[in-house]
Structure 1
Amino acid sequence: MSTFGLIILSTIGISFISLIGVFFIGMKGSATEKFLERFVSFAVGGLLGGAFFHLLPESIELKDSLIFTYVLSGIIIFFVIEKFLHWRHCHKDKCDVHTFTYLNLIGDGVHNFLDGIIIATSFMTDTHLGMATTIAVAAHEIPQEVGDFGILIYGGFSKAKALLYNFLSALTSVAGAIIAYLFFGQILWLKIFLIPCIAGGFIYIALADLIPELHKERESSKIPVQLVTMFSGLGLMWGLKIFFER
């Protein structure tokens, strides 16, 4: 399959993750929380593994003296993006839930658009890197999309409408991928910047967003479960590295 075909297939697959909310419609809140807690731990391992086992080694091979400056830039850029996406949320005393729901859809669309750019850039650098990046993005998207689905339901959407709107918002990843493929592939220096920048972004998401969520769990009995699922994510990424290098 061509690189463009792999990019489109991967981003469409990522978009379908938005429909995962359908599996939680009949589940009790405690069961959903248990699933999300374990998948957040797995996502930490997947993102860190994607950054340290795949993206950073690929970046170092580019032999640019500013590689680690680009990694730092990625951390800062993702911080600024996250601040913007949080800023676009209304405070409860300033807007109603219905308005908040649509603003969340817009923010999610921007986030997914960036995911498309990340996946396309990785595939254009190396097919194996693209596959590893897609898996890391998917691991992060599953708990996020379940949360987005819950926000839409809370905002008054029917379950069918929430699934549809969440899916349409997720499809912006395909648009981001196409734009990246058409324009970024022609600019070598931009690819040299984006790969380590994406690594910095993955590190930021894992350490600043996901690990603090794990710290909210105070029961010491949950620590082994968190570690096992985290190392499962790391192990998957390490396994992919070994497999691709054979």
Structure 2
Amino acid sequence: MSSSTMPSIATAKSSNKPDQATVWILGLSFVTVIGLCAVVGILVMRCLKKSLFNRFITFFVSVGVGSLSGSAVFHLLPHAFGFAHEPHVNGSHSSLTGGPAPDFNYLWQCFAVIGGIYIFFFSDKFIKIVLETRKRSMKKSAEMKQLHSNHKHEGTENGHLVSDTLLNNDQHRVTVTQHSVNENTDISKEMKESERYIEQQTHALCVHDHDFKEGDSVIATVAWMIIFGDGLHNFIDGVTIGVGFNKSIVGGISVCVAVLCEEFPHELGDVAILVNSGMSMKQALVYNLLSAATCYVGFFIGVLVGEIDDITPYILGFAGGMFLYISLGCMMPEMKNAMEKALSVSLSQGLEMLGLQAAGVVTGLVCMFVMARFGEEIKIS
């Protein structure tokens, strides 16, 4: 019985291997789209208003967090561990192929793991907003009581001295004038702080861990560090995409979608730093495209290495760990800081930021889950 089962499993694995022409065409197409992220982002930025673009970036970063972690948990790690799409033990058959129907229980278990992370994250942020709302309400109530108490005290004193009241009219007008000037000054300060917040938030959302200080030398060292670091990052992404497509078309597409959602805001931030470090916009885009070209080299190597079954699980496991680190270690803290900065401006901005982030993460996770669950039923000829 075992001797007849083993050849059939081997035959199934070889028959499920994607067509090489499809692998190369789809893979190179996605790598090209990913490499053009910065150029497309600059064009989009010029077409949208600043506030709308800020919301767009916030949502896209959150989609990147959900899709990166979802790709790692639903695709890369299950394939690395070897339990993705295992057949049912009871021998039930798939209606499409007539073979053993795959068991997708592992997907729901993976969903429980990643769902627990994000449920606690957003619950923590929501509780923070509720506490901040209560704190501001208590502060406002205390200020109203203090104002009412001062008003009663002034009324008692004015009843004793009518002449002092007449004398103080001019002083009162001066005080009111000064008060209105102060109010106008405060309003202008708040507007400037709000604008500065939007710029800082866009920078924080787009740039992961790159540090830049204004006043650095012409084409500062940090610019070359970013170019080198992005080149290495893109190379690893290319290897992951190549191995993913060689494993399955759906797996490769899921990796590409996750990388695209992560790279779009990331590359925009890198271009901003390159420009601020002394480069022209044309220079920054050229160097960005050169660093993106390493993704092609990584893709070629990934497709070739993907033919070696003994190495593939380790590459997929490494890529899964990298995706989890980028999403949970780099991008989630940025989401947290962005929400807290928005909350410091106003409660409505804090709630809007939390809603955009939650919608983005859910979108990314659901896309990766659907591709893992139903992707094998999609046939690409």
Return the TM-score normalized by structure 1: 0.80
Paired residue for 1:204, among 308, 325, 341?
325
| Structure 1 residue 149 corresponds to structure 2 residue 271 | yes
What is the CA–CA distance in structure 2 between the aligned matches of 1:26 and 1:158, rounded to whole Å? Answer: 20
Q: Does 1:191 align with 2:322?
A: no
Which residue identity does 1:214 align to in structure 2?
M
Deviation at 1:241, TM superposition (A): 2.3
User: Are the structure 2 counterparts of residues 90 and 213 from structure 1 closer, same or farther at C-alpha, using a change threshold of 3 Å?
Assistant: closer
Distance 1:203 1:191, change over 3 A: same
Amino acid at match of 1:166: N
Question: Over aligned residues, Cα RMSD in angstroms?
Answer: 2.6
Letter in 1 for 2:357: Q
Q: Is the 8 A contact 2:216 2:277 kept in 1?
A: no
Task: Identify the residue that residue 127 of structure 1 maps to in structure 2.
Answer: 249
Is 1:235 aligned with 2:366? yes
Query: Which residues of structure 1 form unaligned runs of 5+?
Result: 64-84
**What is the match of residue 76 of structure 1?**
none
- Supply the distance in 2 between the matched residues of 1:90 and 1:143 (Cα, whole angstroms): 16
The residue number in structure 2 matching 1:47 is 68
Check conservation: 2:212, 2:273, Cα contact below 8 A: no
Deviation, structure 1 residue 155: 2.0
Match of 1:214 among 330, 335, 350: 335
Residue 8 of structure 1 corresponds to: 28
Tell me how far apart the structure 2 counterparts of residues 166 and 22 of structure 1 sit (CA, whole Å).
15
Q: Find the counterpart in structure 1 of residue 56 from structure 2.
A: 35
Q: Deviations over 1:42-77 (max 9, x none)?
A: 1111111111222222223369xxxxxxxxxxxxxx
Question: Equivalent residue for 2:165?
Answer: none
How many pairs align?
A: 222
Q: CA deviation at 1:148?
A: 0.9
Aligned-residue offset at 1:141: 0.4
| % identical equivalent positions | 31
Matched residues in 2 for 1:115 and 1:9: separation?
14
Query: What is the TM-score with the length of structure 2 in the denominator?
Result: 0.53
Report the Cα offset of residue 114 of structure 1.
1.1
Q: Distance between the aligned counterparts of 1:8 and 1:245, measured in 2?
A: 21
Contact 1:117 1:173 in 2 (8 A): yes
The answer as to 2:245 corresponding to 1:225 is: no
Offset of 1:92 from its aligned partner?
A: 5.3
Q: Which residue in the other structure is 1:57 paired with?
A: 78
Aligned to 1:96: 217
In structure 1, how many angstroms separate the alpha carbons of the residues matched to 2:332 and 2:211?
25
* 1:238–1:132 Cα change, 3 Å: same
Classify 1:9/1:93 alpha carbon distance in 2 versus 1 (closer, same or farther; 3 Å): closer
Q: Give the letter aligned to residue 116 of structure 1.
A: G
Q: Per chain length, whose mean CA-contact separation is higher, i.e. which structure has more relative contact order (CA < 8 Å, sep 6+)?
A: 1
- Say if 1:22 and 1:163, in contact at 8 Å, map to a contact too: no
Mapping of residues 14-33 of structure 1, within 5 Å: 14-19=34-39, 20-25=41-46, 30-33=51-54
Q: 1:118 aligned to 2:240?
A: yes
Pair 1:91–1:24, CA change in 2 (3 A): closer
Tell me, in whole angstroms, the C-alpha distance in 1 between the residues paired with 2:225 and 2:295: 18
Deviations 1:188-230 (A, max 9, x none): 2211211122112111111100100011021241222211111
Which protein is bigger by CA-based radius of gyration? Answer: 2
Paired residue secondary structure (2:262): helix
Distance change >3 Å, CA 144–CA 90, structure 1 → 2: closer
Q: C-alpha distance in 2, partners of 1:13/1:227? A: 26
Q: CA deviation at 1:98?
A: 1.0
Give, in whole Å, the separation in 2 of the partners of 1:171 and 1:50: 23
**Secondary structure of 1:96 counterpart:** coil
What code does the residue aligned with 2:363 have? Answer: S
Are 2:231 and 2:291, in contact at CA under 8 Å, matched by a contact in 1?
A: yes
8 Å CA contact 1:43, 1:230 repeated in 2: yes
How far is 1:97 from its partner? 4.9
